Structure 1
Amino acid sequence: MAELKNRKALENRYDFVYVFDVKDGNPNGDPDAGNLPRVDAETGQGIVTDVCLKRKVRNFVELTKNEQDKDNFKIYIKEKAVLGKFHIEAFENLNIKLGEEIRKEIPDDLKDELENYVLPEGMYTENEPCEECDGEKRENPEGMGIKTENEKQFLVVASNANKEAIKNYIKELKPTKKLSEFLNKIVKDARPRTPTSEETDKGKSWMCENFYDIRAFGAVMSLKSVPNCGQVRGPIQFTFARSVDPIVISEHSITRMAVATEKEAKEQSGDNRTMGRKSTVPYGLYVAYGFVSAPLAKQTGFTEDDLELFWEALINMFENDRSAARGLMSARKLYVFKHRDKLGNAPADKLFDLVKLKIRKNDAATVARNFSDYNLPQKEEIEKGIKKVLAEYSRTGAQRKEEEIEKVLDENIITLEEKI
């Protein structure tokens, strides 16, 4: 992680409150409920998941970092990504070989048939000069066979090849019995190996260095079908966002002035209309809570520069994520509590209450339909509240006062004797 060592490490714990709203849109559809906006069935509050918010942060980072910065700001979890390729890339860059490649000479009677196929990833042909000719060795990484006189042809299975994927490909290929036996034999003889714990740690460090979302949010990279890069617990975590008040879900019928097929057009006698439905929230003000851990940031290499990019993403991520389904979504307030040190000097719940308990609907607004219908606490109010919190709670490291801990335990612990 050499390139990240020169960047300033986090020296403080942070807690934050993120306030955003939606107007005439669906902020986060629930696939288990016909993509309706997510809602708490008991309270009626709207919900936006932490995964949804992280997705928007990832999209913003990928959009804003230019090609020069891409090496350290790649995104691991993105649309249509094949995660295993990133793991293989990590070990290739670290010059760690996970097994030995297998090479077998292609029999003469199979060369013509093999030339008709494009081989799967991880399997390719290679031409090697025989003793009688002077040409250089040539490779064919795309997998297309090359028939050359006075050259031997070999079929190669790479050390990092996915054996199961190749086996499935051979089944789909449906070659002749003899070719099928030859291909399956070489795949069976391939011996890729799993990385050692030391190599896994190196792979994990490489992934953290190169992928922003891994060093920010963490990732489970102990996948069975690809080289193991371990697990990373990210320094940044979100709660679900909840709306301040219960939301109403409005359903709208919509019409498309076209059909998909000729058959549909004939059935409608040329009217060519398709009916559909769209679900929206007329208005909702949502609040999410988040945490930034300095000790975990040290483990992943997450720096002050990375944190600044994260704040920037929260403020601007809706501006480049517009769609008809999401309506008008806007970031409204970001309250950031910076602690004195890495472990913090006040409990997060007390700090969050300074914001949460002061968000109120205006007296004149019986039904909220705009951000202006709410009153949010100002910085001066929160600063006064912080002083009270700090006066009430003293922190040694990350622990509350001993008497406060004892009070909490006395109020909440039920002994086994009492329970029985």
Structure 2
Amino acid sequence: MKFPELNPHQKHQIFYVVSAHNSNPNGDPVADNAPRTNPYSGHGVITAASIKRKVRDYIHEKYGDAPGMDIFIKHEDVMATVAAAALSKAGLQLGVGVSFTPDELGELLDAGLPEAFDVQGESVSYNGTLKNAELKKVMKGLAEAGVSDETRQKLEQLTSQKLEGADRKQLQKEARPVMAKSFIDARLFGYTAPDSAGKTRGPVQMTDAESLEPVNLLEQSITRVARSQPGEKEGNGNFGRRTVVDHAAYVATAHVNPALAKLQGVTSEDLTALLEGLWYGQEAARSSSRPDVRVEALVIVSHDSPYGNMPSHEVERRLSVQAGERHSYLVEYDQANLPEGVSVQIIR
């Protein structure tokens, strides 16, 4: 699949059309993981967070930790630790620096300091990412390695100090471009990080996907004939339930803000990676509960004005998604009498 090169200095609206077939496209954890629905209309919902998760996972799988293509929000990773590693690599001091004598530094370096401690010259700083239990373990290990009581006490005092006021604001100001340069999801979607890395708004803002019609939910029983323990009885003794959507089409919209794209350093390659993630992300996320969630089309409406050449709601009214045969969907976009400066590209 060849994806168009989008100019990050233009405004774009990307319509994301997906369909679910006997699948749970986005479970609700407070409703026994049943497919999300709008309780008032009965329409199905796929949250923007779920869509962006598919994009992140696809980009991480394809590009790994290539320069500038790493992912900030990963499964099971600690955001504070990931951010601290990126900022330390860029040479930013994340905590209050405390001076140690050459002999004290020698003790600490010989014993081996965790990555949470950054040594620059004769100064050591702490990024605050270790839990209390982890800190106790570190101190115990240093003691066992022969580090003196005085040096360990000095290090313990360091862990209780934090950047305050103007120093913290200055660090967050310096951290934002580092985060944007290091992580593509921070560049595209923005981020809210603990402590030193601050937060920023991304140029790509995604709406929830909502189904075109109210969805039919099907409850299914699950049985297992294999026994998990030797003492279990034979037969269909293990029962479970799951809920799926029978057939439904959903539409979400991604808005690309050119002013924020410029501020964050977003490139046309980043936007191509976004399109790839939208197109392939659902396929890469197939599972037993979501065996058939299809991306029907991406409709890209581009404006040569950074503020748009027509209102967003007028752009949306021209999109048409019609049910076809055998639970297929036909996606069309009315391009008649489009204002000057508006162009449309459809991927399907």
TM-score range for the pair, normalised by the shorter chain length: 0.7 to 0.9
SS at match of 1:73: coil
Q: 1:339 aligns with which of 286, 293, 303?
A: 303
Q: Note the C-alpha offset of 1:101.
A: 4.3
Matches within 5 A, 1:167-182: 169-170=135-136
Please list the CA deviations of residues 56-85 of structure 1 after superposition, one character each: whole Å capped at 9, or x if unmatched.
000111111156xx1200101110111112
Shift of 1:196: 4.1
The residue that corresponds to 2:119 in the other structure is none
1:13 to 11, 18, 31: 11
d(CA) in 2 for partners of 1:105 and 1:346?
Answer: 66
**C-alpha separation between the residues in 1 aligned to 2:112 and 2:7?**
42
Match of 1:359 among 321, 325, 330: 321
Are the counterparts in 1 of residues 72 and 183 from structure 2 also a CA contact under 8 Å?
yes
Sequence identity percentage: 25
1:350 corresponding residue in structure 2: 314
Does residue 218 of structure 1 match 2:184? no
| 1:295 matched to 2:246 | no
Whole-Å separation in 2 of the counterparts to 1:76 and 1:164 = 18
Match of 1:91 in 2: 87
Matched position secondary structure for 2:37: coil
Q: Considering fraction of residues, name the structure with more strand.
A: 2
* TM superposition shift of 1:100: 2.4
Q: Are 1:167 and 1:184, in contact at CA under 8 Å, matched by a contact in 2?
A: no
Aligned to 1:74: 70
The one-letter amino acid of 1:318's match is Q
Inter-CA distance 91–171: structure 2 relative to 1 (3 Å threshold): closer
- Quote how far apart the aligned CAs of 1:19 are: 0.7
- Shift of the alpha carbon at 1:329? 1.1
User: Residue 204 of structure 2 is aligned with which of 236, 248, 252?
Assistant: 236
Q: 1:127 to 1:172 in 2, by over 3 A?
A: closer
Q: 1:247 to 1:99 in 2, by over 3 A?
A: same
Aligned to 1:207: 179
Q: Determine the structure 1 residue equivalent to 2:118.
A: none
Aligned length: 321
User: In the alignment, does 2:101 pair up with 1:139?
Assistant: no
Which residues of structure 2 form unaligned runs of 5+?
115-121, 343-348
Match of 1:193 in 2: 163
The structural deviation recorded for 1:142 is 6.1
Could you tell me which of 299, 307, 327 is aligned with 1:370? Answer: 327
* CA deviation vs aligned residue, 1:218-247 (integer Å, no higher than 9, x gap): 0012x24xxx12211111111111111111
Superposition deviation, residue 336 in structure 1: 0.9
Q: Given the alignment, which residue of 289, 303, 314 partners 1:325?
A: 289
Q: How far did residue 272 of structure 1 move?
A: 6.9
User: Residue type of the partner of 2:85?
Assistant: E
Shift of 1:166: 4.0
Q: 1:16: Cα distance to partner?
A: 2.0
Quick check: 1:234–1:300 contact (8 Å CA) kept in 2? yes
Which residue number in structure 1 is paired with residue 279 of structure 2?
Answer: 315
TM-score when normalising by structure 2? 0.80
Q: State the Cα deviation string for residues 76-126 of structure 1 (Å, max 9, x = none).
A: 1110111112222233223233322475999xxxxxxxxxxxxxxxxxx96
CA gap of 1:253–1:11, structure 2 versus 1, over 3 A, is same
Relative to 1, partners in 2 of residues 1:161 and 1:209: Cα closer, same or farther, differing over 3 Å?
A: closer
Native 8 Å contact 2:125 2:158 kept in 1: no
Q: Which amino acid aligns with 1:342?
A: P
**Unaligned segments of structure 1, at least 5 residues:** 1-6, 107-124, 129-136, 144-155, 396-420
Bigger Cα Rg: 1
Contact 1:102–1:189, Cα closer than 8 Å, also in 2: no
Aligned counterpart, 1:4: none
Cα distance in 2, alignment partners of residues 43 and 375 from structure 1? 23
One of 51, 54, 57 as aligned partner of 2:55: 57
Query: Aligned partners of 2:184, 2:37: CA distance in 1, in Å?
Result: 31
C-alpha contact 1:88 1:160 (8 A) present in aligned 2: no
TM-aligned CA deviation for residue 322 of structure 1 = 1.4
For residue 188 of structure 1, report the CA deviation from its aligned partner. 3.0
Equivalent residues of 1:249, 1:280 under 8 A apart: yes
Distance 1:237 1:29, change over 3 A: same
Name the aligned partner's letter for residue 327 of structure 2. N
Is the CA contact 1:9–1:302 (under 8 Å) kept in the aligned structure 2? no
In structure 2, how many angstroms separate the alpha carbons of the residues matched to 1:35 and 1:168?
34
Q: Give the TM-score of the pair, scaled to structure 1.
A: 0.67
The one-letter code matched in structure 2 to 1:139 is D
> CA offsets per residue over residues 275-320 of structure 1, 9 Å max, x none?
1112111111111122100001011111111111111222222222
> How far apart are 1:359 and its partner, in Å?
2.9
Change in CA separation of 1:158 and 1:259 when aligned onto 2, cut-off 3 Å: farther
